[in-house]
Amino acid sequence: MDLLANPVAFVAIVVMMQKEVADRLDAKPGTKPYGSLSVIVQQQNNVDIAFTVPKTAFIPQPKVDSAIVKLTPKKNMGVEPFDRKKFVGFVRGCFMHQRKTLWNNLLGIFGKDADVKEQIQTTLDQLGIRAANRPEQLRVDQFVALTNAFYEGGLI
């Protein structure tokens, strides 16, 4: 995951990995495999699962299928995080307790002080994000916007 916080320049990366991990890289908001890995990778890269390699293609046969994944850097990422490492840490924190609401995860990250709660709620309102949402419901651009807003507000 350190490469995700400190990316290196590349034109394209093609790798074989477990199909389940490939599905997490390519997952969309609101789906079960969508998580911090999805958000962090998709923020900077286009993910293409080229094809699946069945476990029967290997000797000895593993217990899982594999997939060939191509990552290509996005040419236009839109708004970028002010600080990539803080973005990665923030996203990981939001998904630490995935079944909790965004509000409860943010309180876990920033604390429960009344001023902090007010700042969190104001930021969510300004960005049009419901505190009752779960992290897996947010799009990548919403995580970037939240990171930047909390960074500007001095919370991150």
Specify binding-site residues.
1
**Cα 121 to the center of its chain, rounded Å:** 21
What sign results for the dihedral spanned by CA atoms 24, 30, 35, 39?
positive
Specify binding-site residues for S-adenosyl-L-methionine.
1
**Cα 112 to the center of its chain, rounded Å:** 24
For 65, the token pair is 């299928």
- CA within 13 Å, CB half, 78: 10
DSSP string, 28-51: PTTSTT-SHHHHHHHHHEEEEEEE
* Helical residues (DSSP H) of the chain, grouped into ranges: 2-5, 19-26, 36-44, 84-94, 102-110, 114-127, 140-152
